[in-house]
Structure 1
Amino acid sequence: MAGSSHYTLPAPVFDKPVKLLIVVAPYYKDIADNLIAGARGAAEQVGATCDLVEVPGALEIPSAIAMAERLSNYDGYVALGCVIRGETTHYDTVCNDSSRAITLLGLQGACIGNGILTVETHQQAAVRADPADQNKGGGAAMAALHLIALARRWSGATKGIGFRADEGAFRA
C-alpha cells in the first residue's frame, strides 16, 4: 500500500543478561549472512549475547531449537533461513511445516523469533535480509527478545485455582 507505515515496538530493556541462540539454514549463504548480521545487531542493541548454529535446511531449524530448549540454557531463539519458490510443491511443504513447527514450539513456551524468509525470488530475499533495508533478521531477533521480556515479566506471577473455599469450611 502506498503511504502505509509500520509501527515497530521499542526495544525491550533487560535487568539480567539475555542469551539467544540463532539457528540458521545457510542454503543461500549471502541471504543467511545478512539475516545473521541483522539478528546480531538487534541483540547487541539490548545487550544480549548470541550463539550461532547452522543446520542443513529450514525443516531442521525447529528440531534444533527443540533440542536446545530441552538440553541447553538459552532464553530465546532466532530462526533464520530462506526458502525461494521453485518448480515443485516442495516449497509449500518446507514453508508450512517449518512455520507450523516453530509456532508449536512457541505455544509450548519457547521464545522464538521466526526469520525464515519465504519468497518468490532471490532479489526479494536480498531486500528483506539486508540489515540496511527491511532487516528481517533484526526483526526476528527483536520478536524473540520481546517474548523473553514478557516471559520474565510473567514468570513470578501465580494464578489462583479459580475459587478458594472458606478455610474453616472443612473443619470437623
Structure 2
Amino acid sequence: MAGASHYTLPLPRFDKPVKLLIVVAPYYRDIADMMIAGARATLDEAGATHELIEVPGALEVPAAIGQAHRMANFDGFVALGCVIRGETTHYDTVCNDSSRALTLLGLQGACLGNGILTVETIEQAIVRADPKDQNKGGGAAAAALHLIALQRRWGGARGTVGFRPAGDSVLMADGGSDA
C-alpha cells in the first residue's frame, strides 16, 4: 500500500550492558556500509556495544552467527547483507536458505535481527539501506535489541527448543515428576 505509515516500537532500555555482534556480507559494499551505519546508530542510541565481522556472502551470515551463538558471549546478533535478483535461480536459493537458517537460530534462542535485503534492483536496495530512508540496518539492530529485552524479561536462554538432556526431570501438572 503506497503511502502507508509504519509504526516503530521505541527502543528498549537495559539495566545491564548489552553486547551485539554485527555480521555483514559486504558483497555490495556501498549498501553494506549504509546498513552498518544504521545498525551502529541504533545500537549507540540504546547504549549497546558491538563488534563487527565480515563474511563472504549472505549464506555465511547465519553460519557465523551460529558459531558465535555457541562459542562467544554476545547477547544478540544483527545479520546484514543484500541479495539482488539476477538471471538465475541462485537468488531464490540464497534468499530462502539464509532466511530459513536465521529463523532456525532464532528459534534456538539466538536474539537476532534479520537485515539481509532481498531486492529486485540496486535502487530498491539503496532506499532500504539508507539510514535516512528505510534504514533496514537500524531496524535489524532494533529487532535484536527487542528480543534481548524479552529474553531478559523471561529469565534468559534455556537451551535448545524441544530437547532436554537425559536425566533432567520435568515437573508434571499433578506436582509429580517424570524422572
Q: TM-score, normalised by structure 1?
A: 0.92
Q: CA deviation at 1:2?
A: 3.4
- What is the distance in 1 between the residues matched to 2:148 and 2:37? 20
Q: CA deviation at 1:3?
A: 3.9
Question: What is the aligned-residue identity percentage?
Answer: 75
Partner of 1:30: 30
- Corresponding position: 1:17 with 2:17: yes
- What is the distance in 2 between the residues matched to 1:152 and 1:110? 12
Amino acid at match of 2:97: D
Deviations 1:119-165 (A, max 9, x none): 00011000100000000000000000000000000016x9x834244
Amino acid at match of 1:110: A
Runs of 4+ more than 3 Å apart: none
Unmatched 5+ stretches in structure 1: 167-172
Partner of 2:130: 130
Unmatched 5+ stretches in structure 2: 159-169
Secondary structure of the 2:59 match is: helix
- Corresponding position: 1:161 with 2:174: no
- Corresponding position: 1:144 with 2:144: yes
Q: How many residues align?
A: 165
- What is the distance in 2 between the residues matched to 1:71 and 1:52? 16
Q: CA deviation at 1:5?
A: 1.2
Partner of 1:113: 113
Partner of 2:167: none
Q: TM-score, normalised by structure 2?
A: 0.88
Q: CA RMSD in A?
A: 1.7
Q: How does 1:92-103 map to 2 (within 5 A)?
A: 92-103=92-103
Secondary structure of the 2:21 match is: strand
